[in-house]
Amino acid sequence: MSTVDINTLPLIIGFALILIPIAFSWWFNIGIIKRTLIASFRMGIQLLLVGLFLEYLFELNNSFINIAWLMFMILVASVSMIRNSDLKYRILLFPSFMSLAISTLSVVFFFNIVILNLENIFDAKYLIAIGGMILGNSLRSNIVGVSSFYKSIKRNENRYHYQLSLGATRLEAILPFFREGFKSAVNPFIAGMATFGIVSIPGMMTGQILGGSSPMVAVKYQITIVTAIFVVTTVSVILTILFTARSSFNAYGVLNKGIFKN
């Protein structure tokens, strides 16, 4: 059994539903018409291109190219993480990339080797689909965690200096801020996890069920993937903060304000 394809005309009709929010936006004069149009066309074209590319990639299924593509996705994720965080690229890009790469790759391979017991652990279907799924979902928490960490040190500079003056080591002084950043990163995730399945049918389950899997198989995938996302989120928040800390604090343990975009 395979999924019903969507033909061109119905696809266009489906896409045309975008006119409904646009009509409301015009009617209530909300002023988001231009942005909506640009964003939805970008979404459509981007996805079509990715679709074509992935068709080709899955056809080819070359381990080396698969890994390279996953690394590229991680790079794009790191760039987007910094773009959304008030922090500068120059200092943060490399450490964030390393942290996302380490956490995503290790969890994806663990998944492919231990849980799925795949013959080819570089298989595009698993490596790229699962890798992308994990990456995309842990990204937002990562951004929240890292930016809240740096912002709260900047905002509470006096408290931070006071800790140092009390004799705290660098690690001891950042610990309270680290806890706060970590909490704000995982809190929404924990809250969301509890409603999975009942309030929200996660996208991946939907996809698998449409693809012909039984709901039970989809659920088992979902449970392990959600856990994997959670693990990657926590590990990458910790690593990103640790790796960036080397260049964001000076030798005196003081936050380098130059890390913030103006």
Partner 1 sequence: MPLLELNNVSLSFKDQSLFENINLSINKGDKLVISGPSGTGKTSLLKLILGFIPGFEGQISFQNETITHHNIWKVRRSIGYISQDSDIGEGKVGQLIEDIFSLKVNIKLKPDPGKIKELFHFFRLEESTLAKDFEELSGGEKKRVAIIISILLKRDFFFLDEITSGLDDEVLKTVIGYFMESDHTAIIISHDKEWMKKQGVKEFKLN
Interface with partner 1 (CB under 8 A): 156, 158-159, 161-169, 172, 250-254
* Nearest alpha carbon to residue 81 among 214, 244, 195: 244
Positive or negative CA dihedral for 224, 225, 228, 233? Answer: negative
> Judged by CB, which is closer to partner 1: 171, or 223?
171
* Nearest alpha carbon to residue 95 among 228, 253, 250, 259: 259
> Judged by CB, which is closer to partner 1: 150, or 177?
177
Distance CA 140, CA 142 (A): 5
CB of 172 to partner 1, least distance (A): 6
CB of 104 to partner 1, least distance (A): 34
Element (H, E) at 4: none
> Judged by CB, which is closer to partner 1: 140, or 154?
154
> Judged by CB, which is closer to partner 1: 3, or 169?
169
Say if CB 142 and CB 85 are below 8 A apart. Answer: no
CB of 82 to partner 1, least distance (A): 23
CB of 143 to partner 1, least distance (A): 25
CB of 210 to partner 1, least distance (A): 49
> Judged by CB, which is closer to partner 1: 2, or 262?
262
Distance CA 221, CA 169 (A): 43
Distance CA 110, CA 130 (A): 12
DSSP string of 97-143?
HHHHHHHHHHHHHHIIIIIS--S-TT-HHHHHHHHHHHHHHHHHHHH
CB of 89 to partner 1, least distance (A): 22
> Judged by CB, which is closer to partner 1: 130, or 174?
174
